[in-house]
Homo-oligomer: A and B are copies of this chain.
Amino acid sequence: MNKWVYSFGAGHNEGKAEMRNLLGGKGANLAEMASIGLPVPPGFTITTEVCTAYYDNGKKYPQELKDQVAAALGLVEQAVGMRFGDEKKPLLVSVRSGARVSMPGMMDTVLNLGLNDATVAGLAAASGDPRFAWDSYRRFIQMFGSVVLGVDHHRFEEIIEHVKLDRDVHEDTDLKAEDWQTVVTGYKDMVAQVIGKPFPQDPEEQLWAAIGAVFGSWMNARANTYRRLHDIPASWGTAVNVQAMVFGNMGQDCATGVCFTRDPSTGENIFYGEYLINAQGEDVVAGIRTPQPMAQLKAKPHERSMEVAMPKAYQELVAVRARLEQHYADMQDIEFTVQQNKLYMLQTRNGKRTAAASLKIAVDMAREGLIDQTEAIKRVNPSALDQLLHPTLDPKAPRKLLGKGLPASPGAACGAVVFSSDEAEARAAKGESVILVRIETSPEDIHGMHAASGILTTRGGMTSHAAVVARGMGRPCVAGAGGVTVDYAAQALMSGGQVVQGGEIITLDGATGEIFIGSVAMVEPQLSGDFATLMEWADGVRRLKVRANAETPLDADTARKFGAEGIGLCRTEHMFFDPARIGVVRQMIMTDSEGGRREALARLLPFQRADFIELFRIMAGLPVTIRLLDPPLHEFLPHSEEEIGELATAMGSDLVTMQRRAADLAEANPMLGHRGCRLGISYPEIYEMQARAIFEAAVATAKETGAAPVPEIMIPLVATKKELEITRAQVDKVAKEVFAESGVTIEYYVGTMIELPRAALTADKIAEVADFFSFGTNDLTQTTFGLSRDDAGKFLPVYVEKGILPKDPFVSIDIEGVGALVKIAKEKGRSVKSDLKLGICGEHGGDPASIAFCEEAGLDYVSCSPYRVPVARLAAAQAALSSGGGDRTA
């Protein structure tokens, strides 16, 4: 017989933390906490296997489930001495979902389940508090009604508002037992009208409906979106936890709270969280009442900390905090309830945190001896580092304050105001930076939050939906900006008499909670000592070298500051677009004689030489890989008739001739056209000029600094050995000439991009004339898939959504196809030259999953954008650790 149900608490702990896959995170940790002696109300977990079986069998439960649930419920009744559905002393339960990983978007919780018109009286009698009993009943109907029965939550709020108007009161707390009774009657009538039958009174029926709702929510649209964004397979399923209720809302000696064992924003080692006296769980996160701080240290004058209000329960909690961190060796996110001064633990899990906190906690914990350095390296998600490295507001920049809210997620963001998640997604897809502004966010907003550069809400606290999700995503967020009014209908934002229309620019500072009108200048991130420490530890274990893709002095500077060990890709064509040069470039292209081209190129030479001198100076002897001209010539041409006319005038030609030449250059498939080394072969004078600029710059730098750079000249789009042979000969010839002219000889290498399948397949031949290979995985992905990045937008998102492709192959390397070519090229190349240097310079060079592949494939280095360099250093270290390496000699 399959075991579908696991009990926990009250001496029956059948689960443990390691059983997360079976019991979900919440269930596994409830069992774990109970088994290490923490106060957990008894309950049981219906396993994730039930969920999987449910969907595999046409939404039917396994046969044995009913009996196993009944038996487990019996154990709970026994432990608490109350019976489910008992009219005198009813056992109430909570029903909560609990997947392997926490997932907003799914049905979360139904509390007080078991109440009906009969048991509510029993609860009133047993608690001696009819108001509590009727309030609990209306809460139950409201939660069950909205999440299980699908009744719009506004319908419930309307009824409360109506009763408040009737009684002429303003706060929920002013409503008495009889008022809540009236509310309950109104709720039941309304629900019956909406669902066409009475609100279910049978506790058994209530329980199975709630369980069914949890499983049903696993496949709803929001959950599917979340899973897609976080690479969670649908096959994992969710568990359901059924647990005896404890009450934080039975009076002033009751409370409920949510807290973190360390500050999830900064990582600071202090007890961090919020609680509310006389409240139930959802009151804390709902943002209706303002929660109070845990520690007195963090309390503002008007606030009352739990430390002061409930000293005994607080001290108990502080002990639990220490116990949990020791036990889990990680920062915990916990939920608790105090019922009549007795502490109950309702949840613990590894806490979500900002990148900064993640970094600080990992380094601190390693120093505290909770974990070792290797573990610290593994703990930090490399992608999350990215947010530490982006600019913050320049303190000296002028700014115009609009308002202020809670500093809910750090970082600064600037963008156009949008008021809906759909608009955020649509405009972001066009490359616009947007700030999503909402009164509050809900799981329906996940896609908009993901698309936005920053998030602003006018309601909710530091643990509100907006705050938690934004931190997890690394989006700057200002939450609960109460002084700001949002008018969705008018598409406007108002604060202190100032109005911002949708589409206008605002700037958020997630570190201070400030909101500014317009855009505010930003400055480079200030990296903490912890960052340097972790990077140092990571450098100690990684094998892959990390270089940067950089053309400008600014990029090169940034790259070095972030620890780049060279330039892996300098795209020389970017240097052609400078306004001072583009005219000459265009003349070069529009000329139809070699002589004319040579003349224009001679004018470009000093520019290119100066570019390279500056790069060589900055990189101070580190390797610099320079790719010769790659894009098709028509990319440099003007498009408007006016500009073409100007060019014609400058060249002493006429519009028609110029247009004809431009038309000659147009291509049906530019990606597969006359570009890369094909240009170098058709117009040798272009590569000759570029080679001359490189060698003259290298010689000049050597003379100036005494430290000669080692240029690595890279020929793009090679498909055959002969192409590299011909272009390499051009480069070698120019080198000889420059060395003879200057009397200085420089060490240099000539290699090629491997960015066409044919190059990978014939890498043994090509390696005979190459000093190095650099995998251009952007183009290699395009040709391997037969997929133009420019055109894929029409179907690639659907492909990822339908699971035809696990991920966008332009973001994370396609290991099966593109990766196979990389491995073939590596094996063939090294079979001819065992020391052939191998790198990757596509955008995959900064993607952790792709870096793990590069480690496994045995490449020598990755090259990525300057801001991704620390990401790559950490990812490379993690890759080395998980491939069994772990020191530089591996």
Contact = CB atoms under 8 A, between A and B. Distances in A.
Interface in A678-729: 678, 681-682, 717, 719-720, 722-723, 726
A719 B786 contact: yes
Interface string A647-690: 00000000000000000000111111110001001100000000
A198 interface: no
A821 interface: yes
A555 B562 CA distance: 65
Contact of A791 (B668, B788, B821): B668
A725 to B, nearest CB: 9
In this complex, the member of A674, A717, A821 whose beta carbon has the largest number of chain B beta carbons within 10 angstroms is A674
A795 B681 contact: yes
Nearest to A796: B678
Nearest to A781: B758
Contact of A717 (B667, B786, B790): B786
Contacts of A726: 802, 804
A798 B757 contact: no
A786 B783 contact: yes
Interface stretch (A241-249, A284-292, A522-530, A812-820): A812-820
A237 to B, nearest CB: 22
Contacts of A779: 786
Contact of A670 (B669, B758, B805, B817): B669
Contact of A719 (B671, B785, B794, B798): B785
Given A804-B681, A821-B757, A787 B723 contact: no
A786 B672 contact: yes
A756 B782 CA distance: 10
Interface residues of A, number: 48
A762 interface: yes
Given A678-B795, A788-B667, A788-B673, A816 B761 contact: yes
Given A719-B817, A798-B682, A785 B756 contact: yes
A233 to B, nearest CB: 14
Contact of A668 (B671, B717, B818, B820): B671
Contacts of A274: none
A804 B723 contact: yes
A206 interface: no
A730 interface: no
Given A785-B758, A817-B719, A820-B761, A795 B669 contact: no
A73 to B, nearest CB: 43
In this complex, the member of A669, A722, A779, A794 whose beta carbon has the largest number of chain B beta carbons within 10 angstroms is A669
A818 to B, nearest CB: 8
A49 interface: no
A80 to B, nearest CB: 50
Contacts of A674: 791, 794-795
Contacts of A719: 785-787, 817
Contacts of A791: 667-670, 672-674
Contacts of A671: 668-669, 671-672, 786, 788
Given A668-B790, A669-B672, A805-B720, A761 B821 contact: yes
Contacts of A818: 758
B678 A788 contact: no
Contacts of A340: none
Interface in A223-271: none
A52 interface: no
Contacts of A814: 758
Contacts of A794: 673-674, 682
Interface in A771-809: 779, 782-788, 790-791, 794-795, 798-799, 802-805
Contacts of A786: 671-672, 717, 719, 755-758, 779, 783
A795 B682 contact: yes
A681 B758 contact: no
A720 B756 CA distance: 19
In this complex, the member of A783, A786, A814 whose beta carbon has the largest number of chain B beta carbons within 10 angstroms is A786
Nearest to A794: B674
A520 B820 CA distance: 56
Interface in A69-121: none
A829 to B, nearest CB: 15
A802 to B, nearest CB: 8
Contacts of A723: 804
A477 to B, nearest CB: 35
A391 B782 CA distance: 43
Given A672-B791, A720-B805, A756-B786, 11 more contacts: A669-B671, A669-B791, A670-B791, A673-B788, A681-B798, A681-B802, A682-B798, A719-B785, A726-B802, A762-B820, A783-B786
16 contacts: A668-B670, A668-B671, A669-B788, A672-B672, A673-B794, A681-B795, A681-B798, A682-B798, A719-B817, A757-B784, A757-B817, A761-B817, A761-B820, A762-B817, A762-B820, A783-B786
A-B complex: 10 closest residue pairs judged by Cβ atoms? A672-B788, A758-B817, A669-B788, A668-B790, A757-B757, A673-B791, A756-B786, A722-B804, A669-B671, A761-B820
